[in-house]
Amino acid sequence: MKKTNLAFITDRMIKGHGVDLVVDRLADGLAKSGYNCKVYCNYFDETFTNRKSYGIEKLHYFKPADNPIIYERRIRKLVPYLNSRNVDLFIIQSFPFYSLIPKLNKPVLVVDHGIISVGGLPLKRRIRFKYMEISQNLSYFKKAKKIVAVSKYLLNRLPKKIRGKATYIYNGCDHYQQRVLSTEDIDNFRKKIGAGPEDIIILYVGRLNLTNQPYKGLAELANIYQTLSKKYKNIKLLAVGYGSKNDEELLKNQGILAISNAPEELMPLIYKSCNIYATCSHWEGFDLPIAEAQSFNKPTICYRIGAHPEVSVDGKTGFIVDNTQEFTEKLDILISDSKLRLEMGKNGTEYAKKFSWENIVKKYDKVIKNILGLKDSDVLVKKYKDKIKPAKSKRVAVIIVNYNSSYSCLKECLDSIKNQSHKNIEIIIFDNNSTNNVLDSIKKEYRYIKVILSERNLGLGEALNQAIKHTDCEYVLISNFDITYN
């Protein structure tokens, strides 16, 4: 029986991005349903490379251009390569890859995650997103075989001329449900982040930068929290998501608990440990964290925008509000009424069942079979032994030439390397005859680091040459000791 090959094309597959997580769950679910799945992307980290059900391939990287038309022109150079692959259906998830649709030699299924609100963005970015919206809706999507929007809201925003070949399928939200957590686990986590047993944690999950994505409304949520914290001394705002160390520190300086780039395995503990989920986002094509929070028995509060009325039920699973004043008032009610929190949390858990990945994958399976004219018997579930073995990650040596660095400076650098999503790393410190004893403390704290002591200062170039002799890694990153990696 001929196997059906699906090629997902997306910008990236890295930690902290909702679209990437959705692609992962779809590729995994459809692979387990019997399809051969492969994800093609510009870049990826180790978050998803351990999946055994589908493969990931890095495309030739083309430098993004400020002008989206030029960037699309560069991306279209991939067409000959993609057309040479053994593919039955392309599933395209994002800009600039929608521009490939007219050039590909096999049918294309488009997944529309929407175009963000451009309010508060610089003029160049507003023009860029407007171009994306116009080109997709008036040109590229017309050439697709089928369009799947991730909400009714996005479906209704499509032009009527192409809405006839479009449908909507929600994203799933039960991807964190496998881990079993004890009360002790939750108590220890709350203590670790600085929350007491009587504290009420208000959780936000999303981008942590306060200025680059103004539509996310984190600055507004912080202001509401500051207002309510004058009345309630036992509330904490915990912001979790994609961001730099600087983003995290800026939030902490405002009295906000923050965790940047939390590992996937930590998310169940984060959701379980909070009491309320809140977001002041002013645009969402779906809003995965709201659905996730509800699946963990947590009440939610959000604005009446985008797909929020589809993901949450006002007055039942939480509150959907219209302005800042109402947001503050309803959040005040949730803080003060523990019984209401429990009731809405239970309702949310029940409502979140409609967003199960099992059901979502079945709906995509049906769409794909309709496009390709397949019967159920044409796609059979693969046995475990037939699945893909994850490629071993490349080992990278990080070489740091040190001379009289301070302990705090070197520690910050080492911790930032340790926190990278790529874990297959060897760290080598070549000390150029420093006159302080900082490395004595470093060696005790970071026992896995290889430290080489020189009897004299060799200078930077020769020190690097000597350090490289001590590694057999395929890749080498040369780093200063005063750098912090995001």
Among 38-52, 298-312, 376-390, the range of highest mean pLDDT:
298-312
Kindly report which listed range (145-149, 335-339, 432-436) carries the lowest average pLDDT score.
432-436
pLDDT (average), residues 391-410? 88
Residue 112, φ and ψ in degrees, nearest 5: -100, 110
**DSSP assigned state of 3:** P
**DSSP assigned state of 322:** S
Domain 5-172+356-379 identical in fold to domain 183-355: yes
Question: Does the domain made of 5-172+356-379 have the CATH classification 3.40.50.2000?
Answer: yes
Q: Are 9 and 41 in contact (CB under 8 A)?
A: yes
Query: Which class is 183-355 in CATH?
Result: alpha beta
Nearest-angstrom CA–CA distance, 345 and 336: 15
Q: How many CB atoms lie within 10 A of CB 178?
A: 8
Average pLDDT of every residue of the chain:
93
Q: Are 439 and 431 in contact (CB under 8 A)?
A: yes
Give Cα 180 to chain centroid, integer Å. 22
- Percent of the chain residues topping a pLDDT of 90: 78
Q: Name, in order, each residue with C-beta under 8 angstroms of 8's C-beta and a sequence gap of 6 or more.
A: 23, 26, 27, 37, 38, 39, 40, 91, 92, 93
Domain 396-479: which CATH number of 3.40.718.10, 3.40.50.300, 3.40.47.10, 3.90.550.10: 3.90.550.10
What is the CB-side half-sphere exposure of residue 2 using CA atoms within 13 A?
A: 9
Q: Are 290 and 298 in contact (CB under 8 A)?
A: no
Report the pLDDT value the prediction gives residue 1, as an integer from 0 to 100: 63
Q: Name, in order, each residue with C-beta under 8 angstroms of 249's C-beta and a sequence gap of 6 or more.
A: 258
Taking alpha carbons only, the member of 351, 335, 362 closest to residue 292 is: 351
Nearest-angstrom CA–CA distance, 137 and 15: 29
Tokens of 364: 């995509």
Q: Which residue has the tokens 């387990």?
A: 32
The pLDDT tens digits of the residues spanning 67-123 come to 999 999 999 999 999 999 999 999 999 999 999 999 999 999 999 999 998 888 899
**pTM for this prediction:** 0.84
End-to-end CA distance of the chain: 47
Map out the domains of the chain as residue ranges.
Answer: 5-172+356-379, 183-355, 396-479
For residue 391, name the pLDDT band (cuts at 50, 70, 90).
Answer: low
Report the pLDDT value the prediction gives residue 121, as an integer from 0 to 100: 87
Q: Is the pLDDT of residue 387 over 70?
A: no
Give Cα 260 to chain centroid, integer Å. 11
The DSSP bridge partners found for residue 426 are 397
Nearest-angstrom CA–CA distance, 232 and 332: 9
